[in-house]
Chain A
Amino acid sequence: MSWEKIGKEGSLLRWYDVMEADKYEYTVGPAGEQFFNGLKEGKIIGSKCPKCGKIYVPARLYCEDCFVKIDSYVEINKDEAYVDSYTIIYRDDEGNKLDIPVYIALIRFPNTKGGILCYAEGNVRIGGKVKITSFQWPLRVKVE
């Protein structure tokens, strides 16, 4: 609206309020529990569709294509992880410049569907081989 351009804010009658956020408690679900309990043991857990054989990482409860329930969980070979794509963050949410840029990588595993976003360090590059250095969520990885 035009009055905003001329900046006569103080002369307008308005009402100020704050829309505070509420607290949420999200559940990870049965498949999510398998996945997160796996992380505690340093394992990456996926789930395998009984119909099409597709392996989802992280594990999930149903196959979105076959639409059947998945109850077989498999451990993924974490040494095969690779960087699918990455980005470098230079400023935080409020626009302040970060002292050290943050690398975020999307890592995937061969022959699986899905991927995991994590903090990355090292020689971060697309296709780079990944070593998971921390299983705390979000994961931290080092690219060789």
Chain B
Amino acid sequence: MKVNIYLNKRVAVIGAGLTLFRRRLLETPQEIAWEAARKALDEAGLELRDIDCVVIGSAPDAFDGVHMKGEYLSHGSGGIRKPVSRVFVGGATGVMTAIAGWYHVASGLCQRVLAVAEEKMSPSRPHPQAIFKYIWDPILEKPLNPNLIWIFAMEMHRYMATYGIKKEDIALVSVKNKRNALNNPYAQLGANITVEDVLKSEVLVWPVQLLDVSPVSDGAAAIVLASEDVARRYTDTPVWVEGVGWTLDNTEWPARDLAYARYVEFAARMAYKMAGIERPNKEIDVVEPYDPFDYKELHHLEALQLAKRGEAPKLLKEGVFDIDGDIPSSPSGGLLGVGNPIAAAGLMKVVSIYWQLKGTAGKMQVKKPVHTGLAQAWGDLMQAGTVIVMRN
């Protein structure tokens, strides 16, 4: 392993838990964090007293409407009188939570770590979009009153223009993911829709239409990570974290190539190097790329080196990324189908890959046998990439 990172311990995921992903969940943020954490402990066969430290992931405080959300969530996440840390890199937070849990174990610092990601998007009214207003440069960008959909729209447009991609090709992602979500008991928006439905849905900010976007959701996810010697005591089917990667590109978004997610590529290269993967498109059996918008899944599949630049739509059309395809992508239903409580959505992708590799994904289980899986998230000021590669 040569990525300027030196490991002490091999790390396994031995338990995971999810809450329902829904708009306006009745429970408080702490209560849903607890529910996911409890389920993860139960699956691992551990009690809270066995846990050495807790990592909490939650994207900006403003969504739940409480400041210092790490502290706020700590008793729901099992963090009382334990070393607790919170990570947040916007949308990339969910996978970063798993990575932060991983490095606590990989370094030899802890043996069993509980990593919890939570987000409630629905308290902010009228819409959480308003929360994003102040992530922009206050002088250069803010006077235009931008919101996130603007930026996605510009990125999507550039992506379409660079590679000559049509909207109907991109809409297939939404169709696929919402269909996959029908198999997911936690999902908010499973549906059988058609490309036609996407193209006819309301235009929000051209070329982004309503069915191109993931919904506003509340939810939580949690995993338990353990060092190799410990993991063997608790389970016969540990899923190993083989590679992790995280990158922050220049946060000045107008200075960036909108057609290609370089930050994700760099994170992926780091993870691949660690996992010893040389030909990702041959070696990755199942993938959960971050898909808050439909074109974003294609963007990320390309950056993950699972498709050549501009060719992800073609492979998608050929069925490569279908649940019974060569590289099933978002078999959980992704953010488009399951929902998008930001940090929880990213960790949900890790949980999904973990269940796939463990063989306990139920109706979500992909058709082919799987050995190596990848989950990815992306966010911050749209320049943070986080990647995790796991094997069974």
A137 at the interface (CB under 8 A from B): no
User: In the complex the two chains form, is B134's CB within 8 Å of A19's CB?
Assistant: yes
A3 CB-CB contact with B under 8 Å:
no
How long is the Cα–Cα vector from A35 to B390 in the complex, in angstroms? Answer: 44
Query: What are 22 A-to-B residue pairs whose CB atoms are below 8 Å?
Result: A15-B139, A15-B143, A22-B124, A22-B130, A22-B131, A23-B126, A24-B65, A24-B125, A26-B123, A27-B26, A27-B27, A28-B28, A29-B26, A29-B28, A29-B31, A30-B27, A30-B31, A31-B31, A65-B80, A66-B48, A67-B41, A67-B78
Q: Give CA–CA (A15, B140) in the complex, Å.
A: 10
Number of interface residues, chain A, beta carbon within 8 A: 22
Q: Does the CB pair A26–B65 fall under 8 Å?
A: yes
User: A31 CB to closest chain B CB, in angstroms?
Assistant: 8
Asked if residues A62 and B123 are in contact (CB atoms below 8 Å), the reply is: no
**Chain B residues whose C-beta falls within 8 Å of the C-beta of A28 in the assembled complex:** 28
Interface residue A93 (Cβ < 8 Å from any Cβ of B): no
User: How far is it, in angstroms, between the C-alpha of A51 and the C-alpha of B41 when the chains are bound?
Assistant: 17
Q: State the CA gap A17–B137 with chains docked (Å).
A: 12
How does the 8 Å CB contact mask read for B18-58 relative to A, with 1 for contact and 0 for none?
A: 00000011111001001001100100000110000000000
Distance, CA A86 to CA B379, complexed state (A): 44
Tell me which residues across on chain A come within 8 A of B78, comparing CB atoms. 64, 67
Binding site for A on B (CB under 8 A): 24-28, 31, 34, 37-38, 41, 47-48, 62, 65, 75-76, 78, 80, 122-126, 130-131, 134, 138-139, 142-143
A67 close to B125 (CB less than 8 A): no
**B25 to chain A: closest residue by CB:** A27
Tell whether A32 is near chain B: CB-to-CB under 8 Å: yes
A69 surroundings in chain B (CB, below 8 A): 38
Q: Is the CB of B124 within 8 A of A67?
A: no
B28 and A24 contacting across the interface, CB-CB below 8 Å: no
Residues in chain A within 8 A of chain B (CB atoms): 15, 17, 19, 22-32, 61-62, 64-69
- The complex places the Cα of A29 from the Cα of B27 at a distance, in Å, of 4
Question: Cβ of B76 and Cβ of A62 under 8 Å apart?
Answer: yes
Q: Which residues of B contact A17 (CB under 8 A)?
A: 138, 142
Chain B residues in 8 Å Cβ range of A27: 24-28, 123
Once the chains bind, are B124 and A24 in contact (CB under 8 Å)?
yes
In the bound assembly, the distance between CA atoms of A17 and B78 in angstroms comes to 40
CB atoms of B41 and A23 under 8 A apart: no
Q: Which 9 A-B pairs have the closest CB atoms?
A: A24-B65, A29-B28, A67-B48, A64-B75, A23-B125, A15-B139, A62-B34, A24-B123, A61-B31
B48 engages A61 (CB within 8 Å): no
Bound-state Cα–Cα, A56 to B23, Å: 28
Q: Is B125 within 8 A of A22, CB to CB?
A: yes
Residues in B with CB closer than 8 Å to A64 are 75-76, 78, 80
Given contact pairs A24-B125, A25-B123, A29-B31, A67 touches B25 in the complex (Cβ within 8 A): no
Cα–Cα, bound, A30→B30 (Å): 12
Cβ distance A28 to chain B, nearest Cβ, rounded Å: 7
- Rounded to whole angstroms, the CA-CA distance of A23 and B27 in the bound complex is 19
B34 with A61: CB separation less than 8 A: yes
A137 to B38, CA, bound (A): 31
Known: A23-B125, A24-B123, A67-B48. 4 other contacts (CB 8 A): A22-B62, A29-B31, A62-B34, A65-B80
**What's the nearest-Cβ distance from chain B to residue A71, in Å?**
12
Distance from A59 Cβ to chain B, minimum over Cβ atoms (Å): 12
B173 smallest CB distance to A (angstroms): 31
Q: Is B124's CB under 8 angstroms from A32's CB?
A: no
- Please measure, in the bound complex, the distance between the C-alpha atom of A17 and the C-alpha atom of B141, giving whole angstroms: 12
**Contacting residues, chain B, for A15 (C-beta < 8 A):** 138-139, 143
- B171 shortest CB reach to chain A, Å: 32
How many Å lie between the Cα of A62 and that of B76 in the bound state?
Answer: 8
